[in-house]
Amino acid sequence: VFDEGAQLEEGTMKGALLLLSSVSVLLQGVGSCPEKCFCHPSSNSVDCSGRGLAETPSDLPPWTLTLFLQDNRIHWLPALAFRSIPLLTTLNLSNNSLSNVASNAFYGLWHLQVLNLSQNSLLSLESNLAHALPRLRELDVSSNSLSCLPTSLDEPWENLTVLNVQQNHLPHLKRALLESMPRLKLVLLKDNPWKCNCHLLGLKLWLERFTFEGGVTDGVVCGVPEPWNGKDLLSIPHELYQPCPLPPSLNEQPGSPSEEALKSPENNSGSRNPSECEVKPKPRPVNLRRAVATVVITGVVCGIVCLMMLAAAIYGCAYAAITARYQGRPLVSTGESEKMAGGKELMDRSPA
């Protein structure tokens, strides 16, 4: 009995030690901090900035709400890169070497509100970003190499209020993308090579409504075409924009010029005819041109008639003046008339 009691007591002590060790391991995992980072449990923040990191730390404490990873050498984000910190609300990845981001790299960050990806080498953004980060309020992708943004998002980005795309390579920005962000209050767009042709008319219309409703923007400064270089997009009249021409029909006969143009290497590379989509003056309606022609012809006819009337008036005045001048005196003087009368009398008196 004594032996059985001793064995039971020993087993209980081993169980207690195992439980204690397990709890201690769990507590150590919860309170762990990456080797090159500074953890601040009081503010639920982890600072790993400027530590020469080439990838995101994998042993971040799950209580992390704010993570600073700026000024490192991180060049890509794998899938589920932040799955160990699902409560994260602020993520700063600025001034790294990011050029590749997996489509589901931010998956699981349902509470993220601020994302800073500025000063990297990003070439594009995923259209499912709104689905992965539904509560995001501020997105900064300035100072990257973005030449295009998604035409539209997979779903509306209901909570986004700040969008910064300054200092990229954006020539155009689709109106549909901005309309999928209904709560935007601040949009920063400067320092992009904006091409102010027909493709940017949608952005112009959206900006006019956005500013009218109280939104704030730093404006779009045109790069090309030459007449609008350096001018604000909102200052260009609507009349100078025309709808973009539709691509040539694919149903044309084989060998037609348009089909050959579509097959040409230049069109296959994605470039467009430089003459297309250029800003052109709005043509006057046919009725307006006819009205202008009618006014011009009427003016010419009226001018000729007026000149003829003026000439007739001058001629009449001259004739009246000459007539009045000679009616005011006799045609032959008195002395000459007496001489003529005397001569006539002598002729009467002379013998027949």
Q: Both 73 and 109 in a single domain? A: yes
Predicted pLDDT at 199: 87
Q: Both 72 and 196 in a single domain? A: yes
Predicted pLDDT at 338: 52
Q: Both 89 and 138 in a single domain? A: yes
Q: Both 320 and 192 in a single domain? A: no
> Of the residues 262, 283, 304, which one is the last residue of a structural domain?
283
Strand-pairing partners, residue 38, are 47
pLDDT grade for 31, boundaries at 50, 70 and 90 = low
The full 3-state SS of 201-252, as one line of letters, equals: HHHHHHHHHHHHCCCEECCCEEEECHHHCCCEHHHCCHHHCCCCCCCCCCCC
Predicted pLDDT at 17: 40
Predicted pLDDT at 270: 40
Predicted pLDDT at 274: 39
Predicted pLDDT at 299: 84
Q: Which of 124-128, 247-251, 270-274, 287-291 has the lowest mean pLDDT?
A: 270-274
Tell me the two tokens of residue 116. Answer: 């800073």
Domain that holds residue 173: 32-248
275 pLDDT above the threshold of 50: no
Predicted pLDDT at 288: 56
Q: Both 262 and 155 in a single domain? A: no
CA distance 178 to 157: 9
Predicted pLDDT at 313: 84
pLDDT grade for 291, boundaries at 50, 70 and 90 = low
Q: Both 310 and 270 in a single domain? A: no
With residue 216 as reference, give the H or E element that holds it: strand 216-217
Q: Does residue 20 lie in a domain region?
A: no
Residues ≥6 apart with Cβ < 8 Å to 227: 279
Q: Both 235 and 190 in a single domain? A: yes
Q: Indicate the pTM of the whole model.
A: 0.63
Overall number of domains in the chain = 3
CATH number at residue 220: 3.80.10.10
Q: Both 149 and 214 in a single domain? A: yes
CA distance 221 to 228: 9
Span 14-30, pLDDT tens digits: 454 444 434 333 444 45
